[in-house]
Structure formats: C-alpha cells, structure tokens
C-alpha cells in the first residue's frame, strides 16, 4: 500500500480538482508500488491513469510533435500516439532477444560516440515471431527508455483502395517521422509488404510494397522505425535487407515462464513458489500475453472469492477458461 503522505497528497489533489498534482501523486504511487515489486497492481494503476484517462498524457505528447498527418481519402489521422509506460523490468524475453534490445538501447544512449566514428545507431528494426510474445511491448519499452513518444501507424487509415493513395499516405507518415523524433511502430507490417510474387494480391498492394521499400531506403530521420509481423513468411524477400536489425521473439520456455510468474505475481500472497516444477507444464504452449491474462484472471478470482492466498487451483481454473476461450 502507498505511504500515508502520498495518499494524503492524492486525495487532496482530487478534492481540489488539481489535475497536475493528481497526476504527479498518482505517478509517485505507481513508482512506489513498482519498487515494492507489486507489478500487477502497478500495471493496473498505469492502465487507469494512462489508458482510460490518457487525455492529458496524449495531449502532452501531441504538444511535443507537429500536427499528425491525415488521409486525404477519409480525413482520419494516419498515426496514433500511445503512452509509453512499460519499462525494461516489465518485459521477459529469451536471452537473444533481450541482448538485442539491450544493445539497441546502448547504441542510442551512446549515439554521439558512434557518430564520432561515422556510424549510426540501429534505426530500422524488424520484430518477428508469434503473437503475444512481446513485440509491441518491446517497442513501448524502447520508447520509454529513450524518453521518446510512441506513435503507431494506423493501417486502417493508411491502406486505401484508391489508386496511389496508399503510397501517398505512407509518404506523409515518413515525412512526419523524419522531422519528429519518435518511436514509430508499424504493427502487422506484412499487411503493407506482402510478397509481390503472390498472384492473389492486386496491383495497388504491389505499388505500396515498392513505396515502402523506397521510403525505407531513403529514410534519414532520427526516429526509430519498428516493424512487427506475426507472419514473416508473407513478407516480400526484398524487405529483410532494408532493416538494420531483425529480432526474433519466441514463445516462452520454462525459464521465461518462471520469470513471468515471479514478475506478475510479485506482492501477491500465494501458497506455492514460482519455481514449482508443476507450473511450466501448466503454461506450456502459452504466449507471454496469454500467461499474463491467465494470472490476472486467477488473482481476480482469488480476490472475489474472499481467499487470502492464491492457490494453484486458481491458476488451473483460469487456464481452463482460457482453453475454452481459444476453442471458440
């Protein structure tokens, strides 16, 4: 539980309607809970502060950036600003992916040293692997660690059925990220860069692939461009060499499952240890996102049933519900 001083500050700010002080006190509470390793609680508080009530957070990010580009076709914004609140301590990865992420951060934190030798930090990154294994979260962690706004390319606005409009929208996106230092996330990148040899795809999509390749080649801005895909086999072969780094995200192994349990159940009273040999078997075949969802469900059930300790039976019940959901 947060300290009495922070709680008084929080309530006082709420009573007086001081949104700035309320936000500052809320962030202090979240930091304190995270320092206590109460990560589930800290994550939920962050979602309340930045997710459901993110107007001020997004507004602050907008104030740092030029006007977001819009589609000529429908007037919708081509980019969405998202709060980047997850930190390096909030992500569990395989050693190869973690090492790659650490090296990318180090390159950008010491970019001046690299540039003094005529080198540039990695700016065009491709994250690939199964869904729910940390690709989008890794982009958020990079943005948070480098204190850069996180902007997500809205494919529903970018992709158009009108001749040449998709390429025009892409040009607006690249022009924006060239003059505004951000972490730009091209989620589901395969939707823009499918193999041009696929006879089922129409000409406009082939033109968009050519446009993406040309824009990646000519990009000279300071933003970090991150493309993610769950289906790397669909990507056009020419796409791969346009990226400085390709990072593979895999399903969690036993070590990562234990790390996830330790991270997500910190501060939760339980009648089992996270190194219990039964647990990795229970979660075998589940992605990182699946495991987090199951744990949240189990903790909620513990609370709502009035139990003081989390039991393995709570995990099994939540897993059974997850299995039913996947079968629907």
Return the closest-CA partner of residue 313 out of 296, 297, 298: 298
Count of structural domains within the chain: 3
Q: What is the pLDDT of residues 81-131, one digit of tens each?
A: 998 888 888 899 999 999 999 999 999 999 999 999 999 999 999 999 999
Q: Does residue 207 sit in the same domain as residue 86?
A: yes
Asked whether the predicted pLDDT for residue 271 surpasses 80, the reply is yes
Cβ 228 vs Cβ 190: under 8 Å: no
Q: Does residue 104 sit in the same domain as residue 212?
A: yes
| Residues 6 or more apart in contact with residue 310 via CB below 8 angstroms | 265, 268, 269, 270, 271, 272, 298, 299, 302
Q: What is the pLDDT of residues 230-259, one digit of tens each?
A: 998 888 888 999 999 999 999 999 999 999
Q: What is the pLDDT of residues 129-182, one digit of tens each?
A: 999 999 999 999 999 999 899 999 998 888 876 657 888 999 999 999 999 999
The pLDDT value recorded for residue 55 is 45
Q: Does residue 33 sit in the same domain as residue 99?
A: no
Of residues 44 and 124, which shows the higher confidence score? 124
Q: Does residue 128 sit in the same domain as residue 213?
A: yes
Q: Does residue 76 sit in the same domain as residue 24?
A: no
Residue-level length of the chain = 328
3-state helix, strand, coil split of the chain in percent (to 5) is 55, 10, 35
Q: Does residue 173 sit in the same domain as residue 260?
A: no
Confidence band (pLDDT; 50, 70, 90) for 52?
very low
Provide the token pair at 162. 């009108």
Q: DSSP states of 173-208 as a string?
A: HHHHHHHS--EEEETTGGGTSB-TT-TTS-HHHHHH
Range of the domain at 259: 254-327
DSSP 294: H
Q: Does residue 211 sit in the same domain as residue 320?
A: no
Q: What is the CATH number of the domain that holds 261?
A: 1.10.8.60
Question: Rounded distance, CA 243 to CA 227, Å?
Answer: 9
In terms of C-beta distances under 8 Å and separation of at least 24 residues, what long-range contacts does 316-323 make, across chains too?
Answer: 316/282, 318/294, 319/282, 319/283, 319/294, 321/297, 322/286, 322/290, 322/293, 322/294, 322/297
Asked whether the predicted pLDDT for residue 54 surpasses 60, the reply is no
The CA-atom distances, in angstroms, between 257 and each of 24, 94, 120 are: 34, 11, 35
């Amino acid at each position: 539980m947060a300290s009495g001083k922070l709680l008084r500050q929080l309530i006082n700010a709420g009573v007086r309607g001081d949104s700035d002080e309320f936000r500052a006190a809320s962030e202090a509470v979240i930091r304190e809970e995270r320092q206590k390793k109460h990560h589930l609680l800290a994550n939920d508080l962050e979602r309340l502060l930045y997710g459901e009530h993110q107007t001020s957070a997004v507004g602050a990010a907008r104030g740092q950036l030029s006007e977001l580009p819009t589609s000529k076709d429908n007037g919708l914004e081509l980019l969405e600003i998202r709060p980047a609140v997850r930190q390096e301590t909030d992500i569990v990865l395989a050693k190869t992916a973690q090492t790659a992420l650490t090296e990318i951060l180090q390159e950008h934190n010491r970019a001046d040293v690299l540039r003094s030798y005529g080198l540039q930090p990695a700016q065009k990154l491709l994250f690939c692997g199964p869904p729910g294994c940390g690709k989008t979260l890794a982009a958020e962690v990079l943005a948070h660690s480098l204190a850069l706004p996180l902007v997500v390319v809205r494919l529903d606005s970018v992709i158009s059925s009108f001749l040449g409009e998709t390429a025009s929208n892409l040009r607006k996106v690249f022009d924006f990220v060239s003059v505004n230092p951000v972490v730009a996330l091209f989620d589901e990148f395969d939707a823009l860069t499918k193999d041009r040899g696929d006879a089922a795809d129409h000409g406009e999509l082939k033109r968009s692939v050519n446009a993406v390749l040309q824009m990646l080649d000519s990009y000279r801005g300071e933003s970090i461009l991150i493309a993610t895909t769950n289906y790397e086999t669909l990507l056009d072969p020419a796409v791969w060499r346009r990226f400085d780094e390709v990072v593979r995200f895999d399903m969690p192994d036993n070590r990562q499952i234990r790390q996830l349990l330790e991270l997500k159940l910190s501060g939760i009273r339980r009648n089992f240890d996270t190194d219990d040999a039964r647990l990795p078997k229970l979660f075998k075949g589940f992605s990182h996102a699946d495991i987090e969802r199951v744990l949240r469900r189990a903790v909620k059930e513990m609370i709502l049933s009035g139990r003081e300790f989390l039991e393995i039976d709570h995990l099994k019940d939540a897993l059974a519900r997850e299995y039913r959901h996947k079968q629907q």
